[in-house]
Structure 1
């Protein structure tokens, strides 16, 4: 098994680390995901937005900074657990997304255990997706508690 970004990957896949990115090469597919390091967990909100290439003088920066600040010490957007990121991003009602869109789609796919389509994330379908995410989250939390005992 290979570990990349806190996820265990089957030995079928090759993992290549290059700079700050982890490339997962599976048969017929190439996935790219940021490599999470300890320094990322300690990143403050302004550093996170800078990493996203947002300029402080933009409206988007100010909006996202307010949203990130509203979470206090819960910096779920830098969590190593994709289920945590998918859960909180789905419940977050702010716009734009806190997570990069591709990362959110990948995290959501892992949480739900199925491929997620773009139309499911649109506002018109968001309530159904939110319910499915909450059910998957509860199930994963129960499984985590059961395996800890």
Structure 2
């Protein structure tokens, strides 16, 4: 699946697609948004202000990654969640 195909499957909003593609370009061959490992997806998504995966996946995957319940309001402070994620997830 190409990045363009992925984006158009997620939304039909041209501005959103352009923004998603800009974010994706930063990662080169690391297409974490297509990963089978939801913890990996969420680890990288917490780096970004632009959502590349469905929020429900991010929410449940972040709970799995952090090993605790995560309140929706906590996503207002991605930096804090990411700092916690860094301690829980080691890149291979």
**Normalising by the residue count of structure 1, what TM-score does the alignment of the two structures yield?**
0.57
Aligned to 1:30: none
Quote how far apart the aligned CAs of 1:116 are: 0.9
Q: What residue is the counterpart of 1:48 in the other structure?
A: 6
1:127 alignment partner in structure 2: 79
Query: Structure 2 length normalisation: TM-score?
Result: 0.89
| Structure with the higher fraction of residues in strand conformation | 1
RMSD, aligned α-carbons: 1.6
Task: Give 5+ residue unaligned stretches, structure 2.
Answer: none
Describe how 1:59-98 pairs up with structure 2 within 5 A.
59-92=15-48, 94-95=49-50, 97-98=51-52
CA deviation map 1:47-82 (0-9, x unaligned): 101211324xx2111111111122111000010001
Give the structure, 1 or 2, with the largest relative contact order (CA under 8 Å, sep 6 or more). Answer: 2
Runs of 4 or more above 4 Å deviation: none
Gaps of 5+ in 1: 1-42
Q: Which has the higher helix share?
A: 2
2:46 pairs with 1:110: no
Whether 1:100 and 2:54 are equivalent positions in the alignment is yes
Counting matched residue pairs gives: 92
Q: Distance in 2 between matches of 1:111 and 1:53?
A: 26
Partner Cα separation in structure 2 for residue 87 and residue 66 of structure 1 = 19
Which of the two has higher C-alpha Rg?
Answer: 1
